[in-house]
Amino acid sequence: MKPRVLQKGAYQPALEKALAEQFDVHQLWKETDQAAYLSAHGSEFVALATSARWGADAALIEALPNLKVISSFGVGYDTIDVNAAAKRGVLVGNTPDVLNDCVADIAFGLLIDVARGISASERFVRRGDWQSGAFALQTRVSGKRLGILGLGRIGRAIAKRASGFDMDVRYHNRRRLEDVGFTYEASLADLARWADFLVVASAGGPETRHLVSAEVLSALGPQGFLINIARGSVINEAALVDALVNKKIAGAGLDVFANEPQVPEALLTLDNVVLLPHIASGTHETRQAMADLTLANLRSFFAEGRLLTPVS
């Protein structure tokens, strides 16, 4: 018999088809009363297929008493209660590495866009404003100082791209890394004070919540730009809105927000911020690779009792 897998939310059709071919899948997201369904059938499932968006809280894990493995579509796992899973001996897998390049590409796309006013100048042309005068001068990118919050896999891919723009790179982590040549800043505020551009590439979750505070934004200053391709929770969004509206920082490029898909209304009319709908990994190639790894983790568990990419 095929292993019984609970699918929490809707995937792309190709991944759903592959899951259904290889496993006995039930799509929880189609149940009108999910709690009642879990109460009646939760013990049937040994695996949970979820995503970084849907996660798996302690209540869901508790509702699946025979759960052995969680395979998540996405690199972030702050929405999964990994401690609750560990207490139950449940393995958790994600899809790292396969999305590094596309996320780093978007980080640099946002950086160049907000610094050079690409989206703003495109709107300028569409409105017909070019007929009345030239677009305002913007900010150079090449040769500037790039600060990276979180020099993990994606942070390193961003730093690699910075070399092509002759940028000086420094970083802030919980601890100094021994295998990189970039300067480490022990204080995030000091990194922001030094940087022309501060890119947020850290993990989400309680440990990094509002790490980019009003104090950090003040240190970045009126000539500095903020880029976020990590999690909206890492930034104090109210402080960021204030900083952008009142030009306490020069601008921001944002792919993630605190309460997606809700975007602060105050940002919608500003030309010093570029707003994207959480698309950093949104390419055909990367999403296929993520789907393949989500499946491969499940296959590996049921064949060998291990995951190819466990979260720890």
Q: In this structure, are 245 and 292 located in the same domain?
A: no
Question: Is a pLDDT exceeding 90 seen at residue 20?
Answer: yes
**pTM exceeds 0.85:** yes
Is 26 known to be catalytic?
Answer: no
Q: Which domain holds residue 167?
A: 100-275
The pLDDT, as a whole number, for residue 217 is 98
The pLDDT, as a whole number, for residue 231 is 96
Once rounded to an integer, what is the mean pLDDT over residues 116-126?
98
Catalytic residue among 278, 284, 287, 304: 278
Once rounded to an integer, what is the mean pLDDT over residues 240-251?
98
Is 278 known to be catalytic?
Answer: yes
Q: For residue 311, is it within any domain?
A: no
Residue 49 and residue 186: Cα distance in Å, rounded? 38
Instruction: Tell me the pLDDT band of 273, cut-offs 50, 70 and 90.
Output: very high
The pLDDT, as a whole number, for residue 42 is 98
Q: In this structure, are 58 and 159 located in the same domain?
A: no
Q: For residue 223, is it within any domain?
A: yes
Catalytic residue among 156, 170, 172, 231: 231
The pLDDT, as a whole number, for residue 112 is 98
CATH number at residue 179: 3.40.50.720
Q: Report the number of distinct structural domains present in the chain.
A: 2
Q: For residue 309, is it within any domain?
A: no
Q: For residue 113, is it within any domain?
A: yes
Q: In this structure, are 59 and 138 located in the same domain?
A: no
The answer to whether the CB of 248 falls within 8 A of the CB of 217 is yes
Once rounded to an integer, what is the mean pLDDT over residues 53-68?
97
Q: In this structure, are 115 and 196 located in the same domain?
A: yes
Catalytic residue among 21, 44, 122, 260: 260
The pLDDT, as a whole number, for residue 62 is 97
Looking at 129-257, list the stretches that DSSP marks H as alpha helix, in order from N- to C-terminal side. Answer: 153-163, 188-194, 214-220, 237-245
Is 16 known to be catalytic?
Answer: no
Residue pLDDT, tens place only, 183-217: 999 999 999 999 999 999 999 989 999 999 999 99
Q: In this structure, are 93 and 214 located in the same domain?
A: no
The answer to whether the CB of 286 falls within 8 A of the CB of 149 is no
Q: In this structure, are 168 and 241 located in the same domain?
A: yes
The pLDDT, as a whole number, for residue 1 is 87
Q: For residue 232, is it within any domain?
A: yes
Q: For residue 312, is it within any domain?
A: no
